[in-house]
């Protein structure tokens, strides 16, 4: 997950500051030096780090901080505010035209075609009617790839045989004027030093006049992402950035550098391989994760989208009557699976200092197979056993073990953890409810070191 390394290092800095009752100037200077090193190791651009540390230091050494009753907390507050400012405010795409044209550009292999489809699915789910134009005529099978993605997502893909990218874009615009309100142009990947292909991009821009020009950048490119963004911005005046593989970059330097260097905000991040794995970039929430504060708002939004309301209400009623059983827990697991990988869910929770021996999510492998394994065990039980786990004796465990392909200790562990979870849920009743922290605490018991 992005920023994990940076989050770990900053957490250590803030813990050291928090251990001091009152801060002196030397404490602040040492902390700033450590933060500077952490940012540079995260592959943040040097000039960006220099300016950021200068701003933080100036505020951190001010009277407001030094005379505060909780100076360490005030330093964290200053760092958070400056990081949010560095990333820029939340910036949505413009969708106020009869046909909103979004042109995607970038290097080869950054995921433009996939993210054209992802963006179309995102907008479709927001009640827009998008169409994608296949303007990449150079990469073998690029058009075919887009057509397959479009078919799977129920998105119209426009292409004209024996046409150049400018003609395809114009033809797509004519079609969109009659039937669609969003047109996404999937252009060919190109090196920023390739003058011919870069000129072609400018010709597409002049011919169609897109309302958004989004640069698709691989977050794992690191420092080079900044140079790439600057080159495309100088030519096209990009309006925003889509960072792909955001879930795979543990450093995160590209995200912290792009906005400062180009002035163009990050508008979307790619968070996985599925068509639904794209989300608007929200700087304040990202910074909260960096500083170990979690991202509960995103978790709640994902839960609201993923959870079936009727099932939630029914489960809540059963829980309130103390009738929650393994059949219900199986339903809970299915609801959780809809929210995405366990590691993504856990990264939204401010729990790093609550799991013994774990400083960040790099220390733990939240294996998604765990959920499948638990499901297999429960599905190998009879309805009576799911409703009354207390009747499961040794002979029943042997049968369940054989049916699920699990070890006896796995079944013992599940029953033990389920009993613990029921006790814990009773303690946390009215402090988070059935779908509060409880289920995540339970799943964290199954982490692998």
The side-by-side arrangement of strands in the sheet containing 100-105 is 156-158, 130-135, 182-187, 100-105, 212-218, 240-244, 266-270, 278-280
Whether residues 304 and 198 share a domain: the answer is no
CB 294 within 8 A of CB 7: no
Helix (H) or strand (E) holding 100: strand 100-105
In terms of DSSP H, where are the helices of 326-407?
326-337, 342-347, 369-379, 383-387, 394-404
Q: For residues 24 and 36, what is the distance between their CA atoms, to the nearest angstrom?
A: 19
The percentage of residues in the chain with a pLDDT greater than 90, rounded to a whole number, is 31
CB 252 within 8 A of CB 89: no
Whether residues 410 and 431 share a domain: the answer is yes
- Top-confidence range, 275-289, 292-306, 371-385: 371-385
Residue 306 in any domain: the answer is yes
User: Of 422, 380, 372, 386, which is closest to residue 402 (Cα–Cα)?
Assistant: 380
Residue 92 in any domain: the answer is no
User: Of 220, 328, 276, which is closest to residue 2 (Cα–Cα)?
Assistant: 220
User: Of 401, 349, 340, 347, which is closest to residue 368 (Cα–Cα)?
Assistant: 340
pLDDT band per the 50, 70, 90 thresholds, residue 360? very low
Q: For residues 55 and 366, what is the distance between their CA atoms, to the nearest angstrom?
A: 37
Whether residues 67 and 106 share a domain: the answer is no
Helix (H) or strand (E) holding 191: none
Around 403, how many Cα atoms within 13 Å sit in the side-chain half-sphere? Answer: 16
CATH number at residue 80: 1.20.120.140
Whether residues 129 and 245 share a domain: the answer is yes
CB 425 within 8 A of CB 434: yes
In the chain, how many domains are there?
3
Centre a 10 Å sphere on the Cβ of residue 83 and count the other Cβ atoms it contains. Answer: 22
CATH number at residue 306: 1.10.260.30
Taking residues 98-120, report their average pLDDT. Answer: 93
Taking residues 180-204, report their average pLDDT. Answer: 87
Residue 377 in any domain: the answer is yes
Final residue before a domain boundary, out of 30, 52, 87? 87
Whole domain around residue 67: which residue ranges?
4-87
When the pLDDT of each residue in the chain is averaged and rounded to a whole number, the result is 79
Whether residues 381 and 419 share a domain: the answer is yes
Final residue before a domain boundary, out of 290, 313, 345? 290
Residue 83 in any domain: the answer is yes
Low-confidence winner among 93-102, 163-172, 310-319, 322-331 (lowest mean pLDDT): 310-319
Whether residues 216 and 356 share a domain: the answer is no
Digit-coded pLDDT (tens) for 147-158: 999 999 999 999
Whether residues 135 and 274 share a domain: the answer is yes
Structure tokens at 56: 């933080």
Residue 449 in any domain: the answer is no
> What is the reported pLDDT for 90?
65
> What is the reported pLDDT for 50?
92
Structure tokens at 31: 């902390």
Final residue before a domain boundary, out of 258, 290, 322? 290
The whole-model pTM stands at 0.66
CB 449 within 8 A of CB 364: yes
Residue 95 in any domain: the answer is no
Residue 41 in any domain: the answer is yes
Whether residues 330 and 364 share a domain: the answer is yes
At a CB cut-off of 8 Å and minimum separation 6, what does 77 contact? Answer: none
Whether residues 181 and 248 share a domain: the answer is yes
What does the radius of gyration of the chain's CA atoms come to, in whole angstroms?
25
Whether residues 281 and 143 share a domain: the answer is yes
Whether residues 278 and 421 share a domain: the answer is no
pLDDT surpasses 60 at 183: yes
Residue 235 in any domain: the answer is yes
Whether residues 264 and 322 share a domain: the answer is no
Q: For residues 201 and 218, what is the distance between their CA atoms, to the nearest angstrom?
A: 19
pLDDT band per the 50, 70, 90 thresholds, residue 47? confident
């Amino acid at each position: 997950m992005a920023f994990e390394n940076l989050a770990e290092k900053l957490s250590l800095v803030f813990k050291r500051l928090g251990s001091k009752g009152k801060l002196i100037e030397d404490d602040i200077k040492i902390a700033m030096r450590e933060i500077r090193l952490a940012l540079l190791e995260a592959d943040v651009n040097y000039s960006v780090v220099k300016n950021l540390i200068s701003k933080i230091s100036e505020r951190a050494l001010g009277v407001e901080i030094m005379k505060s009753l909780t100076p360490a907390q005030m330093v964290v507050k200053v760092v958070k505010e400056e990081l949010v400012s560095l990333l820029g405010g939340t910036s949505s795409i413009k969708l106020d035209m009869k046909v909103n044209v979004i042109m995607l550009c970038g290097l080869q292999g950054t995921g433009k075609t996939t993210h054209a489809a992802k963006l179309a699915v995102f907008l479709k789910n927001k009640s827009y009617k998008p169409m994608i134009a296949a303007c990449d005529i150079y990469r073998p099978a690029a058009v075919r790839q887009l057509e397959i993605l479009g078919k799977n997502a129920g998105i119209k893909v426009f292409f004209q045989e024996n046409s150049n990218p400018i003609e395809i874009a114009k033809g797509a615009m004519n079609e969109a004027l009659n039937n669609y309100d969003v047109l996404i142009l999937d252009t060919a990947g190109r090196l920023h030093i390739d003058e011919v292909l870069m000129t072609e991009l400018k010709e597409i821009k002049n011919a169609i006049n897109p309302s958004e020009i989004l640069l698709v950048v691989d977050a794992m490119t690191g420092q080079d992402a900044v140079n790439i963004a600057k080159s495309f911005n100088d030519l096209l005046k990009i309006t925003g950035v889509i960072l792909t593989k955001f879930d795979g970059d543990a450093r995160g330097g590209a995200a912290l550098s792009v906005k400062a260097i180009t002035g163009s905000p990050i508008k979307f991040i790619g968070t996985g391989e599925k068509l639904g794995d794209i989300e608007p970039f929200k700087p304040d929430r990202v910074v909260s994760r960096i500083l170990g504060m979690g991202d509960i708002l995103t978790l709640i939004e994902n839960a609201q989208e993923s959870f079936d309301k009727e099932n939630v209400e029914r489960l809540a009623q059963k829980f309130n009557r103390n009738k929650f059983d393994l059949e219900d827990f199986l339903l809970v697991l299915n609801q959780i699976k809809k929210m995405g990988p366990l590691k993504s869910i856990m990264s939204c929770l401010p729990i790093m200092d609550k799991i013994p021996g774990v400083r960040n999510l790099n220390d733990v492998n939240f294996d998604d197979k765990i959920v499948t394994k638990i499901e297999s065990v429960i599905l190998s039980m009879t309805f009576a056993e799911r409703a009354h786990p207390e009747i499961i004796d040794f002979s029943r465990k042997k049968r369940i073990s054989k049916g699920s392909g699990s070890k006896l200790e796995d079944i013992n562990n599940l029953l033990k953890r389920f009993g613990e979870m029921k006790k814990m849920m009773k303690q946390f009743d009215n402090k988070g409810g059935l779908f509060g922290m409880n289920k995540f605490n339970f799943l964290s018991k199954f982490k692998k070191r």
